[in-house]
A = this chain, B = another copy of it.
């Protein structure tokens, strides 16, 4: 086995698909295809550990690498019968990055390497195409200058445009050999002017510089940002793939294309892709010319098409997954340049996974692992209301499904700024580039004027699950004026448009949305997930409507029913405020007496909706001041309606003011100081439960005390609640299964879980508050420093979205272990935001929790993530 440099070519390769970590995805798959006998231009891969060494040693290489590379070049020359810099049969190579995880567009590529004033003559001789050879040369100088030496591409463009003007050409294709020779000359002058040195003529020298540039590009900001956004960690670096050039631009029997073995948008079993004749790969990706659908190739080059179909079938069977392939046809001969697992929409992922099980390609567990639980979101997101009136503005390509409506902005920075301020924005660009990643992430939808289904915008948007319409040719965008003109209509920044990414359509104004209808495949896959998983999934729901929605989505109970939202209805807030303004116990009890029957109705309706399933009701949690108005006019209104003076209201607001309300008088602390509040709620829960049970409906209420920090708090309040419950049940002569348990959301509760579990029948981790306190972050204030913290990698992710396992998770572990040490059957769940995040669900599975609870909408995500955790454990 070689140490750093892995050769492939001549029907065999030193690497395999399994060497992905060392060779990167591209290199490993090139080796694999070579071994499968698929036509791949020969070449070699410099492994990822070299990148790590390069990064750690200020750009130097491990001992012996140079000799190894040069020996491998000799081998390549041997296989090809060509020689670097030769003026008869010159060896020309591409140099490409390729990490273990695909990072589209993140790393730089150099093509046609090996050209110089002599070898260009060789290329002319070999190809017989002088214009093509000089065009390749000038492209190489441009690309090398830009990518390797940081000479801005704009300067090359200026020279090109200048020359075109001089000779009266409008298209590049109108330039002939002398023009291209002149371009090479001017490009080299530019190169010398900007870099202070001559353009390197020695191909080996060119190669080393290109290899170094690829390794360096691992740590350019946009690559770092991409890894951050996609939580890609633990990689050594990128590999470098050096591969003999094949040319899709050698005339009309040459071409290039990209294709998926199945439709990556909806999963249909069809060969799906596009190609351009007489073009190089970047012409397809850049979206300058609009490619043709792959099936047209059957007519143009039927033999090549048949060969491609054969390879497609072999690859899919071999990899047992959808492949995303790149190919080039050079003068009628097909070469495969890449194969990799194809990115797909959630909808496609579901269909493909289910289909492949039916085709016997994979088993159900593999199918479950094939769907990114996080992406299910896109299936679950609303689409346009079919009944809505819509005014079609333009059509483009359905680049990433889903629907979105928002204010249009014309650059990524504006999108990022407004998006982070909570505005719904659509990012509108001629085309996108890797620098736009941040803005694309912040946007609700992306609209581009050029580019195909595999353009940067399309690929990235699908990866993000963001709706995208690409290649919408009728748009005229003026970045300076910040306007978008379609026909005779002009839209300014801030105007509303709506996108249908599944249909590739753009509508005027705001189009209302509705929830999507989920496919049968989806239901089937979810059924498999339910069979596979151990972890139960509940929903956080405060109303009977939410409860029903949760059940529809497969929730197996309610893990968090917040009672405070019930107090904001117009008729209730008055009683609530009377309670707060009460001067003594008697007045407070009178106000609570008015709330009691309302609470009974609330709970009874939720219990009925959740027949047969557990419902965890959290007793009052927020500080009382949240129920009082804070603006003068509302305070006056409240005073008037309650027949007290404004002063009384304002005094109460003032007296309830706290420096740090998060850490203040709320949760069970209110329960301790005003026992009558929880007593009323306990009564309402038991009363509702009895009423519903009397109708023959089975229910399992779980009464949850929030913000417990000491076992004493829990003991006092649980005793009070149980006393109320037992007295009512005894009086009614009813037997009821109910539990009394606690939120674990205060670090101290986790640290003293053993004591608390002596008396608590269940724990539910409130990971929102637990995260706030473990980090000392206020969710309301974190945005002041969170962007800096993510940029500087102090935090890998927003800890309020993905549970921090090292800190918060450690508290969860302690609490689970200690809580169950004395009470082995302690029921444990989680009801914070993290309950619907796949990584956090995996963590909960491994910690032995009984259930997760999340928003109704994310229940399917949690079901799938739970199944995946089980399968992978």
Contacts and interface: CB of A to CB of B under 8 A. Distances in A.
A674 to B, nearest CB: 10
Contact of A789 (B672, B792, B806): B672
Nearest to A780: B659
B664 A788 contact: no
Interface stretch (A315-323, A328-336, A459-467, A766-774): A766-774
Given A752-B806, A773-B773, A785 B673 contact: yes
A580 to B, nearest CB: 14
A664 B663 CA distance: 13
Contacts of A386: none
A645 to B, nearest CB: 19
Contacts of A659: 661-662, 778, 780-781
A7 B336 CA distance: 104
Contacts of A709: 775-777, 807
A794 B710 contact: yes
B793 A665 contact: no
Given A707-B776, A776-B773, A785-B669, A792 B662 contact: no
B794 A712 contact: yes
A665 B747 contact: no
Contacts of A663: 660, 662-663, 772, 776-778, 781
A673 B665 CA distance: 32
A660 B747 contact: no
B780 A660 contact: yes
Nearest to A810: B751
A772 B662 CA distance: 11
A793 B806 CA distance: 34
A212 to B, nearest CB: 26
Contacts of A785: 665, 669, 672-673
Interface in A657-703: 658-665, 669, 672-673
Contacts of A707: 776
A157 to B, nearest CB: 33
Contact of A662 (B660, B788, B794): B660
A710 to B, nearest CB: 6
A225 to B, nearest CB: 16
A804 B748 contact: yes
B751 A781 contact: no
Contacts of A710: 794-795, 807
Nearest to A664: B781
A788 B752 contact: no
Interface in A775-811: 775-778, 780-781, 784-785, 788-789, 792-795, 804, 806-808, 810-811
A661 B660 contact: yes
Interface string A119-150: 00000000000000000000000000000000
Interface string A702-719: 000001011011001000
A673 B787 CA distance: 10
B716 A792 contact: yes
A713 B781 contact: no
Nearest to A660: B778
A774 B746 CA distance: 7
A774 B748 contact: yes
A788 B675 CA distance: 11
Contacts of A774: 746-748, 751, 773
Contacts of A780: 658-660
A661 B746 CA distance: 18
A811 B814 CA distance: 11
Given A663-B781, A778-B664, A781-B664, A773 B788 contact: no
A658 B778 contact: yes
A788 B793 CA distance: 44
Contacts of A808: 748
A665 B748 contact: no
A420 to B, nearest CB: 16
Interface of A: 658-665, 669, 672-673, 707, 709-710, 712-713, 716, 745-748, 751-752, 755, 769, 772-778, 780-781, 784-785, 788-789, 792-795, 804, 806-808, 810-811
The 5 nearest A-B residue pairs measured at CB: A748-B807, A663-B778, A660-B778, A659-B780, A712-B794
27 contacts: A658-B781, A659-B778, A659-B780, A660-B661, A660-B781, A662-B662, A662-B776, A663-B776, A663-B777, A663-B778, A664-B784, A672-B785, A672-B792, A673-B784, A707-B776, A710-B794, A710-B795, A712-B795, A713-B794, A745-B776, A746-B774, A746-B775, A748-B774, A748-B776, A748-B806, A752-B806, A773-B773
Given A713-B794, A747-B807, A773-B774, 19 more contacts: A658-B781, A660-B780, A661-B781, A662-B663, A663-B781, A672-B788, A672-B794, A673-B784, A673-B788, A709-B777, A710-B795, A712-B792, A745-B776, A746-B775, A748-B775, A752-B806, A752-B810, A755-B806, A773-B776
